[in-house]
């Protein structure tokens, strides 16, 4: 397939249920989008230093840094966002007030704004992402070709992005309100796509379906579904049927094991057949859940489970798969 997905999108927001591999998919996406000499920015907002861990580097500061190169001369940069720094940044950019920071901190105002005041924290974080997007529009020399945001989980994503309604309870008019409007004009535009990561299991799929409907009712642009850690069938459909009913030919398996020069006992044959049964059950479950995902009618990308665990090599592997599917 030669089409490229989301050609006009500058901000890719990646969400998903906890434990589905959001950060991994966000990183693979940033790598995939950085092909052929492009430069992308991978941002995280939850103070977890997930990016640094994944790329095996020291904790990231509040500063854009190059963390990986992509095939063809592309680069992935990273930024670990933090609400306090984002607030000082905001004061500096809009009010030239960076020096007021220490006074504000002493008074407890920074703490108030970033942890207590409802919604402010989210406006500051999404606001920073939108500032980076606007660099593209301004053709600034430090502009990226795309930004990938490793966002909060599905349960909170609509609220996180819908900053307008978040601050409306707090500020009906005033600068924060204007700022929220500005942020919203980027986030709800076709320049943004919100992607959801899921596993082919009941609960994450249900959360994805609910998440898509939440995003739609908040008029937020839904991008694609990234199905992570899939286990493609390793047996033919006939073999799966036999594995399910426990009728795989035990004698044949024994003969083959001997052929392969393995020393084994009955236990081994039984265990292999048992594992085949587990696999068949898992394949059935994944097929069932995949149907529910397909019914959403959204672009869907399958990423395999990497048995060795995700390291840099695994990330490149996933990025390549995405690129082959037209994500670049």
Partner 1 sequence: MKLNAPNLDVDALIRDRSITIIVCTGAGGVGKTTTAAALALRAAEQGRDVCVLTIDPAKRLAQAMGLSVLDNTPRLVAGVCGPAGTGSLHAMMLDMKRTFDEVVEGNADPERAQAILDNPFYQALSSSFAGTQEYMAMEKLGQLRAAASAESSWDLIVVDTPPSRSALDFLDAPERLGSFLDGRFIRILTAPARGAGRGIGKLAAFSFGLFTNVLNKILGSQVLADVGSFVAAIDTTFGGFRERADATYKLLQDSGTSFIVIAAPERDALREAAFFVERLKTDSMPLAGLVLNRVQGGGEIDLSAEQATASAERLEKMGEDERLTAALLRLHANRQKIHTRQLHLAERFTAAHPGVAATTVPALAEDVHDLAGLREIGDLLAKKPEPPSRSK
Residues paired with residue 44 on neighbouring β-strands, in sequence order? 80, 150
Binders of partner 1 among residues 208 to 247 (CB under 8 A) are 234-235, 239
Cβ-based neighbours of 14, under 8 Å, separated by 6 or more: 22, 25, 26, 29, 148, 149, 150, 151, 195, 196, 197, 226
Binders of partner 1 among residues 245 to 264 (CB under 8 A) are 248-249, 252-253, 256-257, 259-262, 264
- C-beta of 318: minimal distance to partner 1 in Å? 16
Cβ-based neighbours of 65, under 8 Å, separated by 6 or more: 77, 78, 79
Query: What is the widest separation between alpha-carbon atoms in the chain?
Result: 80
Contact 39, 77 (CB under 8 A): yes
Cβ-based neighbours of 244, under 8 Å, separated by 6 or more: 277, 280, 281, 284
Cβ-based neighbours of 293, under 8 Å, separated by 6 or more: 198, 200, 205, 208, 225, 227, 300
Which one, 111 or 137, has the nearer CB to partner 1? Answer: 111
Number of residues forming the site for partner 1 (CB under 8 A):
77
- C-beta of 62: minimal distance to partner 1 in Å? 17
- C-beta of 192: minimal distance to partner 1 in Å? 22
Which one, 275 or 324, has the nearer CB to partner 1? Answer: 275
312-324 vs 22-33: helix crossing angle, rounded to 10: 60
Stretch that binds partner 1, among 11-19, 72-80, 131-139, 181-189 (CB under 8 A): 11-19
Binders of partner 1 among residues 28 to 67 (CB under 8 A) are 46-48, 50, 53
Which one, 58 or 260, has the nearer CB to partner 1? Answer: 260
Among positions 115, 142, 213, 294, the unique one binding partner 1 when judged by CB under 8 A: 115
Which one, 38 or 292, has the nearer CB to partner 1? Answer: 292
- C-beta of 142: minimal distance to partner 1 in Å? 26
- C-beta of 11: minimal distance to partner 1 in Å? 21
Site string for partner 1, 70-109 (x = CB under 8 A): ---------------------x---x-x--x--xx-xxxx
The candidate with the shortest Cα–Cα distance to 204, out of 231, 233, 223, 226, is 226
Which one, 3 or 259, has the nearer CB to partner 1? Answer: 259
175-187 vs 120-137: helix crossing angle, rounded to 10: 60
Which one, 35 or 121, has the nearer CB to partner 1? Answer: 121
Binders of partner 1 among residues 280 to 309 (CB under 8 A) are 281-282, 285, 305, 307-309
Binders of partner 1 among residues 152 to 211 (CB under 8 A) are 152-153, 155, 159, 166, 169-177, 201-203, 206-207
Contact 150, 12 (CB under 8 A): no
What phi, psi does 201 have (nearest 5°)?
A: -135, 160
The total number of residues written for the chain in this structure: 328
Which one, 64 or 201, has the nearer CB to partner 1? Answer: 201
Which one, 121 or 191, has the nearer CB to partner 1? Answer: 121
């Amino acid at each position: 397939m030669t089409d490229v997905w989301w050609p006009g999108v500058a901000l890719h927001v990646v969400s998903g249920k906890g434990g589905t591999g959001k950060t991994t998919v966000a990183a693979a996406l940033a790598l995939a989008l950085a092909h052929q000499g492009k430069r992308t920015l991978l941002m995280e907002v939850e103070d977890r230093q997930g990016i640094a861990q994944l790329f095996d580097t020291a904790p990231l500061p509040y500063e854009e840094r190059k963390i990986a190169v992509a095939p063809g001369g592309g680069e992935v940069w990273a930024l670990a966002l933090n609400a306090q720094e984002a607030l000082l940044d905001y004061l500096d950019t809009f009010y030239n007030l960076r020096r007021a920071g220490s006074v504000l901190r002493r008074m407890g105002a920074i703490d108030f704004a970033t942890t207590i005041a409802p919604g402010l924290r989210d406006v500051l974080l999404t606001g920073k992402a939108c500032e980076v997007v606007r660099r593209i529009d301004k053709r600034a020399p430090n502009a990226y070709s795309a930004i990938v945001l490793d966002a909060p989980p599905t349960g909170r994503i609509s609220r996180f992005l819908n900053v307008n309604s978040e601050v409306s309870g707090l500020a009906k008019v005033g600068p924060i309100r204007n700022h929220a409007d500005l942020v919203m004009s980027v986030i709800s535009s076709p320049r943004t796509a919100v992607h959801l990561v899921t596993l082919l299991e009941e609960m994450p799929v249900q959360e994805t379906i609910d998440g898509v409907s939440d995003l739609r009712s908040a008029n937020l642009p839904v991008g694609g579904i990234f199905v992570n850690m899939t286990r493609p069938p390793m047996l033919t459909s006939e073999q799966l049927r036999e594995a399910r009913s426990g009728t795989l030919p035990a004698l044949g398996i024994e003969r083959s094991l001997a052929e392969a020069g393995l020393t084994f006992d009955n236990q081994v044959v039984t265990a292999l057949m048992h594992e085949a049964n587990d696999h068949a059950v898992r394949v059935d479950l994944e097929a069932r859940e995949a149907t529910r995902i397909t019914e959403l009618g959204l672009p869907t990308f399958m990423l395999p489970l990497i048995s060795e665990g995700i390291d840099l090599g695994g990330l490149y592997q996933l990025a390549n798969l995405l690129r082959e599917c037209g994500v670049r």
